[in-house]
Homo-oligomer: A and B are copies of this chain.
Amino acid sequence: MKLSDGVEAAIHCAAVLAQLNGEATLPGSALAELHGLSPSYLLKHLQALTAAKILESIPGPNGGYRLAKAPERISLLDIVLAVEGHQPAFRCGEIRQRGPGALEAEAYVKPCGIKVAMLKAERAWRAVLAETKLSQIVSGYEADADPRAVAFNCAFIARHQRPQGETSLKKSK
């Protein structure tokens, strides 16, 4: 069992976007550069997050990505499901109705107890992820990470974010 690598990148990106000012956006290429990732591949995950209404995208020059809602309303579960898909990790192949001794399909209305137990465990996993909001991740990061790393991130964001206030705004040198 393995979660796809994109999950780590997606959460980190979302955490960065949560630190933008107001309606500003950050281009996908900046996100890729900041994390040392290939832009082409990261964009795929950002698209998935956009499709899931977690991010918003603004096309055109001066465009980019930003959160679609407040960080308090975005859970890790939202992000994981957007990237990984909504299928449960345990997939019951109805092994019980194979082999000799198989009955008609009507005999299997009650779900297999093993399936029930596995999905219950998965619900517990999802519940913890659903409780963890992006806002907690961000404040945890600002409190625990090396101050130099935090400062660099801030500067990087300030340097690449796009103010997005309807029209122009002079770029200071």
**A interface with B by C-beta (< 8 Å):** 1-5, 7-9, 11-12, 15, 33-37, 76, 84, 87, 89-93, 95-96, 98-103, 107-108, 110, 113-114, 117-118, 120-122, 124-129, 132, 136-137, 140-141, 144-146, 148-149, 152-153, 156
Asked whether, in the complex, the Cβ of A2 is within 8 Å of the Cβ of B5, the reply is no
Chain B residues with CB under 8 Å of A107's CB are 146, 148-149
The answer to whether B95 and A12 have CB atoms under 8 Å apart is yes
- In the bound assembly, the distance between CA atoms of A35 and B117 in angstroms comes to 20
Instruction: For the complex, give the distance between the alpha carbons of A103 and B152 in Å.
Output: 10
Known contacts: A114-B8, A128-B120, A137-B117. The answer to whether A33 contacts B1 by CB under 8 A is: no
- Contacts A76-B118, A98-B36, A99-B35; A92 near B8 (Cβ below 8 A): yes
CB-CB under 8 A from A100, the residues of chain B are 33-34, 36, 152, 156
Q: What residue in chain B is nearest A121 (Cβ atoms)?
A: B128
Which B residues are CB-close (under 8 A) to A5?
91, 93
**Chain A at the B interface: mostly helix, strand, loop or mixed?**
helix
Known A-B contacts A84-B1, A128-B120; A103 and B148 likewise in contact (beta carbons under 8 Å): yes
Residue contact B35 to A95, C-beta cutoff 8 Å = yes
Q: List 19 A-B contacts (CB under 8 A).
A: A1-B1, A3-B89, A7-B118, A8-B91, A8-B95, A15-B114, A35-B98, A35-B99, A36-B99, A96-B149, A100-B152, A103-B146, A103-B148, A107-B148, A113-B140, A113-B141, A114-B137, A121-B132, A125-B125
